Amino acid sequence: MENRLQRLNEELEDILFELNTKYSSDLQAAHVVSRTVEDLPPQSIELNKSIELVSELQNVLIPPLHKVVDGIFGNTPQLPRPLFITRLILFSRSLPTGHALPSSELQTIGSCLLFIAFTTSKALASAVHYKIPDLLNQHGRLSAIALAKLTTPPTEPGALLQLLRLLANSVGIFEYDPEDETFSNNPASSLLATDHWTRWHLWAHLYPTAFYDIFANLENSISESEPQTATQIQYKAEATEPFYALLSRLPWARQFFETIGAGSTAMAPGMLADYPWTEVNEGPVCDIGGGNGEFLFTLLQANEKMTGAILELKGSVAMKAATDNFAAAGESEGEQTGGKFAAVNQRVFSVHAGDFFVEVPPYPVYTIRWTLHNWGEEQSELILRNIRSAIQKARKPNSRLLIIESVVTDSRMGRPAMYGSVIMMAGSKGGKERTEKEWRQLCARTRWTVHGIHVLKNCIPCILDLRPTDE
């Protein structure tokens, strides 16, 4: 075995050298994160295959004890150092467009995984709290001593060194030079700057804090005899109180909806690029559970002919935020007024106050994003049946329901959905992300046909295109 491992190491060193030199620009282009749809690279079947093979290789080689330690302390199991996972990819072949898992910006997904870990997520929260990515953007490469003097308030240099070195070496957030003990930004840490358009820093603030407390109750919540979720236990709520009703009265509710809205913005280029929205331009499109309205705003901005509406829970924080955001522009006492999405106000029919468990307003096209994963099968079936009843009243040839959610796969690239599934379980009994098989079964039971599943660049979710099954 030693001889084979020696040959393997020699081959890996050769590949790493080539990827760092000859194919460096190709690799950077494949991992680009861009707000502009046209700048997104084509999906690469070979890139995804390489990632999966690297993951399998690590699974074979990593000692069991290391996997146990990773599981206990929160480092993502089998996640290699950044150069290994982002550059150990055979780019000697062409980059064809295909329908495999997306060639997502790997560092982005790596960052997302950290937000729901333990040791690494708390270290990451600390780094973002003290705006380390911003400081490195402003000043370039710095030592922990220099960084500690620049933070507000000043931090202890030794402690800062420990946290940043963990992030750099275990999960590839920041670059670290052990020779002079300095840090610099890399593509992953740059995404966490407060002025980056994706606003991933909001996720790093929310999940290692509010959800960290909730997860302290996870082991009790999965007991067969425990009627409450981890969230209900944490906030001493009744087992019958739904997650979003509970959320609306928590102090971090607005922060939660702002974070989810930021996720929509960060992944919007892929959502806009990889679905034929022109097919529903005549709409109108109703975004069910549309949160603060950020996704609908992005959709309307990109499709000038499209009109839309939102359905949100009456009296919820999200309902108030959406109403404020879409308020028409005007002037009051010499000052400009209007919500931050006022530019599309004339194309928003309504911000409906309602309950999708009771009734859905009739529209020919619906989107529902990151919502069904909050509910078990019985509740999800009720939601889908209510949407189907409503769409029949306003049905057009282009009528459809577009579900924007994760599709679980047992693969390296499927990990974000698996993490999300556990988070859903902490919020709602039966909450989960679903496999393609589970999605198709759920849709069949509620008389929807899965017309297609669209994989999206730089996105964790997919778009499931559903059409009402004929009578």
Of 344, 241, 228, 358, give the one whose Cα is nearest residue 288: 358
Measuring CA to CA, how many Å separate 365 from each of 182, 277, 288, 386, 409? 53, 11, 10, 14, 28
Task: Check if the beta carbon of residue 137 is closer than 8 Å to that of residue 185.
Answer: yes
List Cβ neighbours of 224 (8 Å cut-off, separation of 6 or more): none
Helix and strand numbers, DSSP H then E, in the chain: 22, 14
Pairing of strands 400-405, 462-468: antiparallel
- Cα–Cα distances in angstroms (integers) from residue 125 to residues 50, 115, 155, 243, 374, in the given order: 31, 8, 14, 24, 25
Q: Which of 31, 201, 205, 373 is catalytic?
A: 373
How deeply is 65 buried, as exposed, middle or buried, from its count of CB atoms within 10 A (0-12, 13-18, 19+)? exposed
Task: Give the integer Cα–Cα distance in Å for 111 and 173.
Answer: 8
Q: How many CA atoms lie within 13 A of 174 on its CB side?
A: 36
Each residue of 55-64: b (16+ CB within 10 Å) or e? Answer: bebbeeeeee
First-to-last CA distance in the chain? Answer: 62
373 tagged catalytic: yes
Query: Are residues 268 and 295 in contact, defined by beta-carbon separation less than 8 angstroms?
Result: yes
Residues for the chain: how many in total? 471
In DSSP notation, 186-214 reads: -HHHHTTSTTSTT-THHHHHHTTTHHHHH
Chain centroid, CA 106 distance in Å: 12
Q: 214 near 422, Cβ under 8 Å?
A: no
Whether 37 contacts 269, CB under 8 Å:
yes
Instruction: Give the active site residues.
Output: 373
